[in-house]
Amino acid sequence: MDIREKILKLKKERNAVILAHNYQLPEVQDIADFTGDSLELSRKAAETDADIIVFCGVYFMAETAKILSPQKMVLIPDETAGCPMADMVDEKKLLELKKQNPEAVVVSYVNTTARVKALSDVCCTSANAQKVLEKLKGKKIIFVPDKHLGEYASKKAGVEVILYNGFCPIHERILKEHIEEKKRNYPKAKVIIHPECFMEVCEIADEVTSTSGMLKYAKGSFDKEFIIGTEIGLLHPLKKQNPEKDFYPASEIAVCENMKKTTLEKVLWSLEDLKFEVEVPEGIREKAKLALDKMLEII
C-alpha cells in the first residue's frame, strides 16, 4: 500500500476531511478533499460531518478552521508552518494602535492570528477587502497587517485607512521588472496579480484578485496565456483546471517555504498520531468569530 492509499484509508477510518491551500505542494493538493483560499476552506470544512480537519496550510488557517468548527478536532501536519505576515502583528502592537486611535474601526485581514481577529471589529479577505472598506466609508479605519492589500483596497474603495507596516515577503519578491520581462517574452499573456504585491505591480495587471479569483478568471477567459503574480503553488490547480492553457510564474522565486513544509508523509503522520492539534481558547474564539461574522454580514 503506497502512502496515498494509507492516507485515504486512515482518513476514512478517522472520519477526517483534508484541506489544502492553493500554495501547497502538488501532491498534497491532489490528496485533499478541498483546495482553495484559507477562509473558503474553513467554511467548507464546517459544513461537513467530519470529526477531524487536517489543514494543509499555515497555522493561522488551522486556527480559523477551529474558530468555525469548535466541535471538530483540527490538525496541522507541521506545527512550525507559520505565516511571516501574520506574525508581524500581535495583540500588543494592535492594542497600542487602537489606543492611539480609539475611535477607529479595526479591519483585520484573515491572514492574522485568532488573538488579533479577537481584537478586531471586522475581518476581510483579499477577495472582499474593497467591499468591506466601502461599507465603512466615513469611518476612521485601521487596516492590519498587510499594507499592500490595504493600500490597493482602500484606493479602489475610495477611503482613507491607517495602514499597518506588515507585508507578505513572498509577494514582495514579485517586482515590476519581472512582469515587464515576462510580457516581453509572452506578449499575448494576460497578467493576473495578487493584491499582496506592490502597488506598482498591481497597476500594470490585467486583473488583480485573490487565488480563487485567479482560478475563476483563468477558467472564464478566452485567452490562452497568463502571467501569474502569486506564490508558484497556484500554477498546479491552474494547469489542472485548464490543460489547454499556458501559465507562467511572474517570479520563479515567489516560493513560500512555510507552505512547502507540509508533505504527504506529514499528512499521514498527522492522521496516525492525531498531531498537531490546534486549539483556540473559547473566549478568543468567540470574539474572533464575531469579526468573521461581521464580515459576512456587511458584504
What mean pLDDT is predicted for residues 78-97?
Answer: 97
CB 294 within 8 A of CB 123: yes
Neighbours of 187 (CB within 10 A): 8
What mean pLDDT is predicted for residues 77-88?
Answer: 98
What mean pLDDT is predicted for residues 117-140?
Answer: 97
C-alpha closest to that of 196 among 227, 218, 173: 173
Dist. CA 235–CA 99, nearest whole Å = 42
For residue 257, pLDDT beyond 90: yes
pLDDT at 166: 98
pLDDT at 125: 97
Helix (H) or strand (E) holding 286: helix 282-298
Residue-range domains of the chain with CATH: 3-82+259-279 (3.40.50.10800), 85-167+285-298 (3.40.50.10800), 171-249 (3.40.50.10800)
Residue 69 — very low, low, confident or very high, per pLDDT cuts 50/70/90? very high
CA 89 to chain centre: 16
For residue 74, pLDDT beyond 90: yes
pLDDT at 68: 98
Neighbours of 224 (CB within 10 A): 12
- Taken as a whole, the chain contains a residue count of 299
Please tell me the pTM assigned to this model.
0.96
Dist. CA 106–CA 19, nearest whole Å = 29
pLDDT at 252: 97
Q: What percentage of the chain has pLDDT greater than the value 90?
A: 99
Q: List pLDDT tens digits, range 161-172.
A: 999 999 999 999
pLDDT at 264: 98
- What DSSP letter does each residue of 177-211 carry, written as one string? HHHHHHHHH-TTPEEEE-TTS-HHHHTT-SEE--H
Q: List pLDDT tens digits, range 6-64.
A: 999 999 999 999 999 999 999 999 999 999 999 999 999 999 999 999 999 999 999 99
For residue 298, pLDDT beyond 90: no
What mean pLDDT is predicted for residues 129-155?
Answer: 97
Dist. CA 6–CA 8, nearest whole Å = 6
Q: List pLDDT tens digits, range 266-289.
A: 999 999 999 999 999 999 999 999
Question: Side chain identity at 118, as an amino acid letter?
Answer: A
Residue 1 — very low, low, confident or very high, per pLDDT cuts 50/70/90? confident
What mean pLDDT is predicted for residues 232-245?
Answer: 98
Coil/strand/helix, residue 21: strand
Dist. CA 268–CA 87, nearest whole Å = 27
* Counts of helices then strands in the chain (DSSP H, E): 15, 12
Q: List pLDDT tens digits, range 24-40.
A: 999 999 999 999 999 99
Q: List pLDDT tens digits, range 178-192.
A: 999 999 999 999 999
For residue 255, pLDDT beyond 90: yes
What mean pLDDT is predicted for residues 101-121?
Answer: 98
Coil/strand/helix, residue 20: strand
For residue 299, pLDDT beyond 90: no
Task: Indicate the average pLDDT of the chain.
Answer: 97
Dist. CA 171–CA 211, nearest whole Å = 12
What mean pLDDT is predicted for residues 88-100?
Answer: 97
